[in-house]
Protein backbone atom coordinates (compact mmCIF):
# COMPACT_ATOMS: atom_id res chain seq x y z
CA UNK A 1 0.00 0.00 0.00
CA UNK A 2 1.17 3.52 -0.72
CA UNK A 3 -0.14 6.93 0.21
CA UNK A 4 -0.51 9.54 -2.51
CA UNK A 5 -1.22 13.24 -2.00
CA UNK A 6 -3.68 15.37 -3.96
CA UNK A 7 -2.70 19.01 -4.30
CA UNK A 8 -4.47 22.33 -4.87
CA UNK A 9 -4.67 22.75 -8.67
CA UNK A 10 -3.82 25.83 -10.70
CA UNK A 11 -7.25 27.37 -11.30
CA UNK A 12 -6.27 29.76 -14.05
CA UNK A 13 -3.56 32.04 -15.37
CA UNK A 14 -1.90 34.11 -12.63
CA UNK A 15 -3.99 32.35 -9.91
CA UNK A 16 -1.82 31.47 -6.90
CA UNK A 17 -4.34 30.06 -4.40
CA UNK A 18 -7.75 28.45 -4.05
CA UNK A 19 -10.38 27.96 -1.36
CA UNK A 20 -11.92 24.61 -0.43
CA UNK A 21 -15.64 25.37 -0.73
CA UNK A 22 -17.02 21.87 -0.13
CA UNK A 23 -15.65 18.37 0.28
CA UNK A 24 -17.39 15.77 -1.91
CA UNK A 25 -15.69 12.80 -0.17
CA UNK A 26 -14.88 11.70 3.37
CA UNK A 27 -12.13 9.48 4.85
CA UNK A 28 -12.85 5.84 4.01
CA UNK A 29 -14.61 6.63 0.72
CA UNK A 30 -13.48 4.69 -2.33
CA UNK A 31 -12.80 6.82 -5.39
CA UNK A 32 -11.91 6.15 -8.99
CA UNK A 33 -9.42 8.08 -11.08
CA UNK A 34 -10.83 11.48 -12.13
CA UNK A 35 -13.68 11.35 -9.58
CA UNK A 36 -14.34 14.84 -8.13
CA UNK A 37 -13.00 15.20 -4.59
CA UNK A 38 -13.84 18.78 -3.66
CA UNK A 39 -15.30 22.00 -4.96
CA UNK A 40 -12.78 24.84 -4.97
CA UNK A 41 -12.97 28.54 -5.79
CA UNK A 42 -10.51 31.28 -6.63
CA UNK A 43 -10.87 34.94 -7.48
CA UNK A 44 -11.48 33.96 -11.11
CA UNK A 45 -13.21 30.61 -11.30
CA UNK A 46 -15.02 27.77 -9.51
CA UNK A 47 -13.90 24.21 -10.27
CA UNK A 48 -13.52 20.69 -8.89
CA UNK A 49 -10.39 18.86 -7.78
CA UNK A 50 -10.23 15.50 -9.58
CA UNK A 51 -8.63 12.40 -8.13
CA UNK A 52 -5.38 11.37 -9.79
CA UNK A 53 -5.71 7.79 -8.53
CA UNK A 54 -8.08 4.97 -7.69
CA UNK A 55 -8.07 4.13 -4.02
CA UNK A 56 -9.44 5.00 -0.57
CA UNK A 57 -9.46 8.48 0.97
CA UNK A 58 -7.32 8.35 4.11
CA UNK A 59 -7.28 11.96 5.31
CA UNK A 60 -8.67 15.39 4.47
CA UNK A 61 -5.90 17.89 5.20
CA UNK A 62 -7.83 21.12 4.59
CA UNK A 63 -11.02 22.34 6.20
CA UNK A 64 -13.91 23.76 4.19
CA UNK A 65 -13.43 27.49 3.76
CA UNK A 66 -9.63 27.28 4.03
CA UNK A 67 -7.53 29.03 1.39
CA UNK A 68 -4.38 27.21 0.24
CA UNK A 69 -1.62 28.03 -2.25
CA UNK A 70 -1.37 26.18 -5.54
CA UNK A 71 0.49 22.91 -4.96
CA UNK A 72 -0.47 22.57 -1.27
CA UNK A 73 -1.62 19.10 -0.21
CA UNK A 74 -5.39 18.95 0.39
CA UNK A 75 -5.98 15.23 0.99
CA UNK A 76 -4.33 11.82 0.79
CA UNK A 77 -5.35 8.57 -0.91
CA UNK A 78 -4.25 5.02 -0.18
CA UNK A 79 -3.68 3.06 -3.37
CA UNK A 80 -2.88 -0.60 -3.91
CA UNK A 81 0.68 -1.10 -5.17
CA UNK A 82 2.66 1.25 -7.38
CA UNK A 83 1.27 0.14 -10.74
CA UNK A 84 -0.88 3.23 -11.15
CA UNK A 85 1.70 5.79 -10.16
CA UNK A 86 2.17 8.38 -12.90
CA UNK A 87 5.64 8.96 -14.35
CA UNK A 88 7.66 11.86 -12.92
CA UNK A 89 6.50 15.18 -14.39
CA UNK A 90 8.80 16.88 -16.94
CA UNK A 91 10.98 19.77 -15.87
CA UNK A 92 8.72 22.25 -17.65
CA UNK A 93 4.97 21.76 -17.73
CA UNK A 94 1.88 23.81 -18.30
CA UNK A 95 -0.33 25.14 -15.54
CA UNK A 96 -3.10 22.76 -16.58
CA UNK A 97 -0.87 19.68 -16.40
CA UNK A 98 0.32 20.56 -12.90
CA UNK A 99 -3.21 20.96 -11.63
CA UNK A 100 -3.85 17.27 -10.91
CA UNK A 101 -0.36 15.88 -10.37
CA UNK A 102 0.21 14.23 -6.99
CA UNK A 103 2.80 15.39 -4.51
CA UNK A 104 4.57 12.02 -4.45
CA UNK A 105 4.53 8.95 -2.23
CA UNK A 106 5.07 9.65 1.45
CA UNK A 107 4.94 7.82 4.73
CA UNK A 108 1.72 8.10 6.69
CA UNK A 109 3.44 9.75 9.64
CA UNK A 110 5.39 12.32 7.62
CA UNK A 111 5.36 15.75 9.21
CA UNK A 112 3.51 18.42 7.23
CA UNK A 113 5.63 20.98 5.43
CA UNK A 114 5.67 24.51 6.79
CA UNK A 115 3.29 26.77 4.89
CA UNK A 116 3.94 30.10 6.62
CA UNK A 117 7.05 32.25 6.41
CA UNK A 118 8.84 33.15 9.65
CA UNK A 119 11.37 35.75 10.72
CA UNK A 120 14.62 34.62 12.27
CA UNK A 121 17.32 36.45 14.20
CA UNK A 122 19.98 33.91 13.32
CA UNK A 123 23.14 35.07 11.63
CA UNK A 124 22.21 36.40 8.20
CA UNK A 125 22.91 34.15 5.24
CA UNK A 126 25.57 35.46 2.86
CA UNK A 127 23.71 37.17 0.05
CA UNK A 128 26.23 36.06 -2.56
CA UNK A 129 25.22 32.43 -1.93
CA UNK A 130 21.47 32.95 -2.16
CA UNK A 131 19.41 33.47 -5.31
CA UNK A 132 15.97 35.07 -5.27
CA UNK A 133 13.37 35.30 -8.00
CA UNK A 134 12.82 38.69 -9.69
CA UNK A 135 9.34 38.92 -8.10
CA UNK A 136 10.78 38.38 -4.61
CA UNK A 137 13.55 40.93 -5.16
CA UNK A 138 11.09 43.50 -6.49
CA UNK A 139 8.68 43.06 -3.55
CA UNK A 140 11.57 43.17 -1.06
CA UNK A 141 12.84 46.38 -2.58
CA UNK A 142 9.40 48.00 -2.54
CA UNK A 143 8.88 47.25 1.16
CA UNK A 144 12.53 47.46 2.30
CA UNK A 145 12.49 43.83 3.48
CA UNK A 146 15.67 42.27 4.88
CA UNK A 147 15.53 38.92 3.08
CA UNK A 148 18.38 37.48 5.16
CA UNK A 149 16.01 37.45 8.14
CA UNK A 150 13.17 35.59 6.38
CA UNK A 151 12.81 31.81 6.32
CA UNK A 152 10.69 30.77 3.34
CA UNK A 153 8.28 27.90 2.82
CA UNK A 154 9.48 26.96 -0.66
CA UNK A 155 11.61 24.00 -1.62
CA UNK A 156 14.73 23.95 0.54
CA UNK A 157 13.59 27.02 2.47
CA UNK A 158 13.33 29.14 -0.68
CA UNK A 159 11.56 32.45 -0.15
CA UNK A 160 8.51 32.89 -2.37
CA UNK A 161 6.54 35.98 -3.27
CA UNK A 162 3.62 34.61 -1.21
CA UNK A 163 5.90 34.39 1.86
CA UNK A 164 6.67 38.10 1.62
CA UNK A 165 3.04 39.01 0.96
CA UNK A 166 2.02 37.17 4.15
CA UNK A 167 4.55 39.14 6.19
CA UNK A 168 3.45 42.42 4.61
CA UNK A 169 -0.24 41.69 5.23
CA UNK A 170 0.51 40.82 8.86
CA UNK A 171 2.56 43.99 9.41
CA UNK A 172 5.55 41.86 10.39
CA UNK A 173 8.15 43.05 7.90
CA UNK A 174 11.83 42.71 8.92
CA UNK A 175 13.43 45.86 7.56
CA UNK A 176 17.08 46.57 6.99
CA UNK A 177 16.92 49.36 9.56
CA UNK A 178 15.08 47.42 12.24
CA UNK A 179 15.44 43.62 12.20
CA UNK A 180 14.11 41.51 15.09
CA UNK A 181 16.49 40.74 17.95
CA UNK A 182 14.93 37.36 18.66
CA UNK A 183 12.95 34.83 16.61
CA UNK A 184 9.39 35.91 15.88
CA UNK A 185 6.37 33.60 15.57
CA UNK A 186 4.65 32.81 12.28
CA UNK A 187 3.59 35.74 10.12
CA UNK A 188 -0.09 35.05 10.72
CA UNK A 189 0.23 35.71 14.48
CA UNK A 190 3.38 37.81 14.73
CA UNK A 191 3.60 41.23 16.35
CA UNK A 192 4.21 44.17 14.00
CA UNK A 193 7.76 45.38 13.56
CA UNK A 194 8.80 48.79 14.80
CA UNK A 195 8.72 50.25 11.30
CA UNK A 196 5.18 48.96 10.80
CA UNK A 197 4.08 50.53 14.09
CA UNK A 198 5.50 53.84 12.99
CA UNK A 199 3.51 53.72 9.76
CA UNK A 200 0.13 52.82 11.26
CA UNK A 201 -0.64 56.13 13.03
CA UNK A 202 -0.62 57.96 9.67
CA UNK A 203 -3.30 55.59 8.40
CA UNK A 204 -5.26 55.85 11.63
CA UNK A 205 -5.24 59.65 11.45
CA UNK A 206 -6.81 59.52 8.00
CA UNK A 207 -9.87 57.68 9.36
CA UNK A 208 -12.47 60.14 10.60
CA UNK A 209 -15.79 59.70 12.37
CA UNK A 210 -18.41 58.30 10.02
CA UNK A 211 -15.86 56.72 7.68
CA UNK A 212 -16.54 53.15 6.60
CA UNK A 213 -13.70 50.62 6.47
CA UNK A 214 -14.23 48.05 3.72
CA UNK A 215 -12.17 44.85 4.02
CA UNK A 216 -10.24 43.93 0.88
CA UNK A 217 -11.61 40.69 -0.55
CA UNK A 218 -9.44 38.06 -2.21
CA UNK A 219 -10.95 38.99 -5.56
CA UNK A 220 -10.24 42.71 -5.10
CA UNK A 221 -6.68 42.00 -3.90
CA UNK A 222 -6.01 39.78 -6.94
CA UNK A 223 -7.33 42.49 -9.26
CA UNK A 224 -5.18 45.08 -7.51
CA UNK A 225 -2.03 42.95 -7.73
CA UNK A 226 -2.54 42.26 -11.43
CA UNK A 227 -3.21 45.92 -12.21
CA UNK A 228 -0.14 47.04 -10.25
CA UNK A 229 2.00 44.48 -12.06
CA UNK A 230 0.74 45.63 -15.45
CA UNK A 231 1.18 49.32 -14.61
CA UNK A 232 4.71 48.79 -13.24
CA UNK A 233 6.08 46.39 -15.86
CA UNK A 234 4.34 47.52 -19.03
CA UNK A 235 5.20 50.87 -20.68
CA UNK A 236 1.70 51.98 -21.64
CA UNK A 237 0.96 54.21 -24.60
CA UNK A 238 -2.48 55.33 -25.79
CA UNK A 239 -4.36 56.10 -28.99
CA UNK A 240 -7.97 57.14 -29.67
CA UNK A 241 -10.05 57.23 -32.85
CA UNK A 242 -13.58 58.45 -33.60
CA UNK A 243 -15.81 56.13 -35.62
CA UNK A 244 -19.12 56.96 -37.33
CA UNK A 245 -21.37 53.97 -36.60
CA UNK A 246 -24.67 55.48 -37.77
CA UNK A 247 -25.33 52.69 -40.29
CA UNK A 248 -24.39 50.01 -37.75
CA UNK A 249 -26.82 51.45 -35.18
CA UNK A 250 -29.62 51.59 -37.76
CA UNK A 251 -28.93 48.00 -38.84
CA UNK A 252 -28.76 46.56 -35.34
CA UNK A 253 -31.88 48.41 -34.18
CA UNK A 254 -33.81 47.11 -37.18
CA UNK A 255 -33.09 43.43 -36.40
CA UNK A 256 -32.81 43.30 -32.59
CA UNK A 257 -36.46 42.40 -31.86
CA UNK A 258 -36.72 39.66 -34.47
CA UNK A 259 -33.28 38.32 -33.50
CA UNK A 260 -34.22 38.05 -29.80
CA UNK A 261 -37.45 36.21 -30.63
CA UNK A 262 -35.65 33.80 -32.95
CA UNK A 263 -32.43 33.15 -31.03
CA UNK A 264 -33.43 33.72 -27.41
CA UNK A 265 -30.67 36.22 -26.59
CA UNK A 266 -29.85 39.81 -27.50
CA UNK A 267 -27.83 41.01 -30.46
CA UNK A 268 -25.79 43.82 -28.90
CA UNK A 269 -23.65 46.56 -30.43
CA UNK A 270 -20.72 45.01 -28.58
CA UNK A 271 -20.92 41.83 -30.69
CA UNK A 272 -20.33 43.91 -33.84
CA UNK A 273 -17.30 45.59 -32.25
CA UNK A 274 -15.75 42.29 -31.14
CA UNK A 275 -16.24 40.84 -34.63
CA UNK A 276 -14.58 43.88 -36.22
CA UNK A 277 -11.62 43.63 -33.83
CA UNK A 278 -11.21 39.89 -34.49
CA UNK A 279 -11.18 40.51 -38.25
CA UNK A 280 -8.62 43.32 -37.92
CA UNK A 281 -6.39 41.18 -35.66
CA UNK A 282 -6.25 38.57 -38.40
CA UNK A 283 -4.99 41.23 -40.80
CA UNK A 284 -2.57 42.76 -38.27
CA UNK A 285 -1.28 39.73 -36.31
CA UNK A 286 1.37 41.77 -34.48
CA UNK A 287 -1.47 43.22 -32.37
CA UNK A 288 -2.14 39.66 -31.19
CA UNK A 289 1.25 39.33 -29.45
CA UNK A 290 2.82 39.10 -25.99
CA UNK A 291 6.13 40.21 -24.48
CA UNK A 292 8.30 37.35 -23.16
CA UNK A 293 11.50 39.07 -21.94
CA UNK A 294 13.94 37.93 -24.65
CA UNK A 295 11.35 37.50 -27.39
CA UNK A 296 7.90 38.52 -28.62
CA UNK A 297 5.33 35.76 -29.02
CA UNK A 298 2.85 36.30 -31.84
CA UNK A 299 -0.18 34.17 -31.00
CA UNK A 300 -1.79 32.02 -33.67
CA UNK A 301 -5.28 31.81 -32.17
CA UNK A 302 -7.38 34.95 -31.88
CA UNK A 303 -9.04 34.67 -28.47
CA UNK A 304 -10.81 37.85 -27.37
CA UNK A 305 -10.99 38.54 -23.63
CA UNK A 306 -14.04 40.57 -22.62
CA UNK A 307 -14.42 42.38 -19.30
CA UNK A 308 -17.51 41.44 -17.26
CA UNK A 309 -18.08 43.26 -13.97
CA UNK A 310 -20.02 42.27 -10.85
CA UNK A 311 -20.68 44.47 -7.83
CA UNK A 312 -17.23 43.90 -6.34
CA UNK A 313 -15.12 42.17 -8.96
CA UNK A 314 -14.02 42.16 -12.58
CA UNK A 315 -13.75 38.95 -14.60
CA UNK A 316 -12.23 38.53 -18.05
CA UNK A 317 -13.69 35.45 -19.78
CA UNK A 318 -12.53 34.58 -23.28
CA UNK A 319 -14.27 34.21 -26.65
CA UNK A 320 -12.19 31.47 -28.28
CA UNK A 321 -11.36 31.67 -32.02
CA UNK A 322 -13.41 34.84 -32.40
CA UNK A 323 -12.19 35.35 -35.98
CA UNK A 324 -13.90 32.10 -37.02
CA UNK A 325 -17.30 33.04 -35.58
CA UNK A 326 -20.22 34.99 -37.00
CA UNK A 327 -21.67 38.01 -35.24
CA UNK A 328 -24.43 35.74 -33.97
CA UNK A 329 -21.87 33.28 -32.58
CA UNK A 330 -19.99 36.07 -30.82
CA UNK A 331 -23.26 37.47 -29.42
CA UNK A 332 -24.10 34.02 -28.04
CA UNK A 333 -20.67 33.71 -26.39
CA UNK A 334 -21.00 37.18 -24.83
CA UNK A 335 -24.43 36.25 -23.44
CA UNK A 336 -23.32 32.87 -22.07
CA UNK A 337 -20.05 34.10 -20.55
CA UNK A 338 -21.73 37.08 -18.87
CA UNK A 339 -24.39 34.75 -17.44
CA UNK A 340 -21.71 32.41 -16.06
CA UNK A 341 -19.92 35.31 -14.36
CA UNK A 342 -23.06 36.63 -12.70
CA UNK A 343 -24.19 33.20 -11.53
CA UNK A 344 -20.74 32.13 -10.29
CA UNK A 345 -20.47 29.29 -12.81
CA UNK A 346 -17.41 30.46 -14.73
CA UNK A 347 -15.15 27.47 -15.44
CA UNK A 348 -11.37 27.33 -15.64
CA UNK A 349 -11.43 26.92 -19.41
CA UNK A 350 -13.58 30.06 -19.77
CA UNK A 351 -10.77 32.36 -18.64
CA UNK A 352 -7.74 30.75 -20.30
CA UNK A 353 -5.94 31.69 -23.46
CA UNK A 354 -6.95 35.31 -24.04
CA UNK A 355 -4.73 37.14 -26.55
CA UNK A 356 -6.40 40.59 -26.82
CA UNK A 357 -8.96 42.35 -24.60
CA UNK A 358 -12.01 44.39 -25.63
CA UNK A 359 -13.72 46.29 -22.81
CA UNK A 360 -17.27 47.64 -23.18
CA UNK A 361 -16.79 50.79 -21.09
CA UNK A 362 -19.57 52.47 -23.06
CA UNK A 363 -22.09 50.37 -21.15
CA UNK A 364 -21.55 52.74 -18.21
CA UNK A 365 -21.81 55.92 -20.27
CA UNK A 366 -18.07 56.50 -20.57
CA UNK A 367 -16.95 58.43 -23.66
CA UNK A 368 -13.17 58.32 -23.16
CA UNK A 369 -10.93 56.13 -20.98
CA UNK A 370 -7.44 54.66 -20.81
CA UNK A 371 -7.49 50.97 -19.92
CA UNK A 372 -4.73 49.10 -18.11
CA UNK A 373 -3.49 46.24 -20.27
CA UNK A 374 -4.59 42.74 -19.27
CA UNK A 375 -1.14 41.25 -18.54
CA UNK A 376 0.57 39.54 -20.40
CA UNK A 377 -1.33 40.70 -23.48
CA UNK A 378 0.00 43.62 -25.53
CA UNK A 379 -3.13 45.76 -25.90
CA UNK A 380 -6.65 46.49 -24.68
CA UNK A 381 -9.38 48.32 -26.62
CA UNK A 382 -12.01 50.36 -24.78
CA UNK A 383 -15.29 50.66 -26.71
CA UNK A 384 -16.94 53.84 -25.46
CA UNK A 385 -20.54 55.01 -25.44
CA UNK A 386 -22.22 55.74 -28.77
CA UNK A 387 -23.34 59.38 -28.74
CA UNK A 388 -25.11 61.72 -31.19
CA UNK A 389 -22.84 64.43 -32.62
CA UNK A 390 -23.21 67.04 -35.36
CA UNK A 391 -20.89 66.02 -38.18
CA UNK A 392 -20.03 67.89 -41.38
CA UNK A 393 -20.88 65.87 -44.48
CA UNK A 394 -19.52 66.19 -48.02
CA UNK A 395 -20.83 69.34 -49.65
CA UNK A 396 -20.69 71.43 -46.49
CA UNK A 397 -23.89 70.06 -44.91
CA UNK A 398 -23.94 68.68 -41.40
CA UNK A 399 -26.19 66.17 -39.62
CA UNK A 400 -26.57 64.28 -36.36
CA UNK A 401 -24.52 61.09 -36.53
CA UNK A 402 -23.84 58.20 -34.13
CA UNK A 403 -20.20 58.48 -33.06
CA UNK A 404 -18.13 56.18 -30.83
CA UNK A 405 -14.60 56.60 -29.50
CA UNK A 406 -12.27 53.60 -29.64
CA UNK A 407 -9.49 53.98 -27.05
CA UNK A 408 -6.47 51.69 -27.40
CA UNK A 409 -3.86 51.06 -24.68
CA UNK A 410 -0.72 49.38 -26.01
CA UNK A 411 2.46 47.81 -24.67
CA UNK A 412 5.17 49.97 -26.22
CA UNK A 413 7.73 47.15 -25.88
CA UNK A 414 5.73 45.15 -28.42
CA UNK A 415 3.75 47.67 -30.45
CA UNK A 416 4.41 51.04 -32.07
CA UNK A 417 2.13 53.80 -33.30
CA UNK A 418 2.36 52.75 -36.94
CA UNK A 419 0.89 49.26 -36.59
CA UNK A 420 -1.61 50.42 -33.96
CA UNK A 421 -2.80 53.28 -36.16
CA UNK A 422 -3.27 50.94 -39.13
CA UNK A 423 -5.09 48.45 -36.91
CA UNK A 424 -7.49 51.06 -35.51
CA UNK A 425 -8.11 52.46 -39.00
CA UNK A 426 -9.05 48.98 -40.18
CA UNK A 427 -11.47 48.50 -37.25
CA UNK A 428 -12.95 51.91 -38.10
CA UNK A 429 -13.35 50.95 -41.77
CA UNK A 430 -15.11 47.68 -40.91
CA UNK A 431 -17.52 49.34 -38.49
CA UNK A 432 -18.35 52.27 -40.76
CA UNK A 433 -19.24 49.83 -43.54
CA UNK A 434 -21.45 47.59 -41.40
CA UNK A 435 -25.01 47.91 -42.68
CA UNK A 436 -28.05 45.95 -43.80
CA UNK A 437 -26.93 45.52 -47.41
CA UNK A 438 -23.34 44.40 -46.77
CA UNK A 439 -23.35 42.61 -43.42
CA UNK A 440 -24.96 39.41 -42.16
CA UNK A 441 -25.09 38.45 -38.51
CA UNK A 442 -25.19 34.76 -39.50
Residues annotated catalytic, as ranges: 412, 416
Q: CA 10 to CA 134: how far, in whole Å?
A: 21
Neighbours of 28 (CB within 10 A): 8
Distances (CA, A) of 53 to 8, 29, 31, 201, 330: 15, 13, 8, 53, 39
Q: CA 38 to CA 57: how far, in whole Å?
A: 12
| Contact (Cβ atoms closer than 8 angstroms) between residue 369 and residue 307 | no
| Contact (Cβ atoms closer than 8 angstroms) between residue 255 and residue 439 | no
Distances (CA, A) of 157 to 82, 116, 117, 150: 30, 11, 9, 9
Q: CA 346 to CA 340: how far, in whole Å?
A: 5
Judge if the upstream peptide bond of residue 361 is cis by omega within 30 degrees of 0: no
Q: CA 149 to CA 123: how far, in whole Å?
A: 8
Amino acid sequence: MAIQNITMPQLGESVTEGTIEKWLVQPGDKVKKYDPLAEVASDKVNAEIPSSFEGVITELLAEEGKTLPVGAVVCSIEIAGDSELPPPPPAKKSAVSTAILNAGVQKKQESPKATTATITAEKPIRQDKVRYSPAVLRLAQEHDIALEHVTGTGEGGRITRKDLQQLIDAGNVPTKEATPSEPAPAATVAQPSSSALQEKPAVAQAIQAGDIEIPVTKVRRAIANNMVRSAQEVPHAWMMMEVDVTDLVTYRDSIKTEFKQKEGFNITYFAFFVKAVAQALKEFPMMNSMWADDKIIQKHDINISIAVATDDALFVPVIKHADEKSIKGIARDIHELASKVRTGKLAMDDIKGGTFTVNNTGAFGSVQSMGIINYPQAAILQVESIVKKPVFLPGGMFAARDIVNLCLSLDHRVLDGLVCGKFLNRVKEILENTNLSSTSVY
